[in-house]
Copies of this chain bind each other. A is one copy, B any other.
Amino acid sequence: MDVTDDGRGHEHAPEPAGEPSEALRGTPTIYDVARACGVAPSTVSRAFSRPGRVNAETAERIRQVAAEMGYRTNPLARALPTGRTSLLALVVSDVTNPFFFDIIRGAEEEATAAGYTLLVADVQESVEAERQALDRTLPLVEGLVLATSRMSDSAIRVAAKQRPTVVLNRVMTDVPSVVTDNARGTRRAVEHLAGLGHAVITYVAGPEASWADGMRWRSMREAAFELDLKVRRLGPFPPTLAGGQAAAQALAEHPTTAVVAYNDLLAIGLVRGLAALGARVPQDVSVVGFDNIFGADFCSPPLTTVAAPLRNLGAYAVRTLLEQRGNRQLREVRPALLPAQLLVRGSTAPRARRRSAWATRAQVPAGTALPTGVRGAPAPSAGASAAVGASARPGGRAAP
């Protein structure tokens, strides 16, 4: 940030005319500083890169002169021989998705604290863009956090072979991964609804390809089984406000008093859709979301949600990344499970005594195209245990 319009070192060493120095070119180099100090360039280099390996006094003098001349070490030149760029990349599938806001913030903080600069690459939900972004950034960075990658496991492994890599919101066994503890979070939501007297819960599903979606649905079935509740599944729907409105239509045909949605955006859309159909939340229907994104507290009613430890997720990923420096082996690693927290707000309430008539009142035009059909869960007794055994879909992508 310093500009040196003067301080050309004329008092240090008489410049042989015709020799281009930092006075002519833009920025002074270690050579200019060295000449001005009467030491070797390598000494100047050491004075900055490893203080301590140079005499305290000369080091001080060098720093002094360098400061006067406006010398700044060129990170590019430093990176070429060493590979130390001090850059980390965070690849997100969509910067404008509020799910990432706090993740970015957490990663930023941790990176900055460790002396790194975070490069946020937005790949706009495109596998092709993701590949290209990686092509471009991989050689520049010292490490990589893939938040919600849309690439295949093998593609991720390829990247992980070149640079320390951590994946977020997706479980892998040979690449360090950090995920929210969806199982416990989901259980808390179900317990909450059960405590309010709800006996049947609908799960409004998100993208099929989402690792989290599969996890949440399975966990719901387990929890419901143990608490002796019934669960249904509706969807999949795109995890957007529009998706939620569509879900409201679908719900009208198979109403329940409680709903757990794949994520907050879907939940908020659902609440709006329900309102449009004449259903009151939470009086007629209780709604629970996931993630606690920005906006979950000021929508109306404020959303009860399973809050993902967003900021922590980002911070933890970067920390894990930094720990990988040195040991570059892809060895077996257990995914880190970060705890979620149930935030009870205004969208859930005790089950109404008498069933509201909203669903029958709601005008659902015959033949309305719904994204998908409704299917009841298999009998809890059979379904739950089967679900428990199922492991995470191997190649599944993690849509937030």
Contact = CB atoms under 8 A, between A and B. Distances in A.
Interface of A: 1-3, 72, 74-77, 79-80, 85-87, 95-96, 98, 101-102, 104-105, 108-109, 112, 117-122, 124, 129, 131, 133-140, 155, 158-159, 161-162, 241, 268-269, 272, 294-295, 297-300
A158 to B, nearest CB: 5
Given A1-B138, A76-B140, A98 B294 contact: yes
Contacts of A297: 241
The 7 lowest CB-CB distance pairs between A and B, nearest first, are A300-B300, A295-B295, A120-B120, A96-B101, A108-B122, A119-B119, A96-B105
A2 B132 CA distance: 12
> Oligomeric state, in number of copies?
2
Contacts of A85: 76
25 contacts: A2-B158, A72-B139, A74-B139, A75-B136, A76-B140, A86-B136, A95-B101, A95-B108, A95-B120, A96-B101, A96-B102, A96-B104, A96-B294, A105-B122, A108-B124, A109-B124, A118-B120, A120-B120, A241-B297, A241-B298, A294-B294, A295-B298, A299-B299, A299-B300, A300-B300
Nearest to A122: B108
Given A105-B122, A119-B119, A158 B1 contact: yes
A158 B70 CA distance: 13
B158 A3 contact: yes
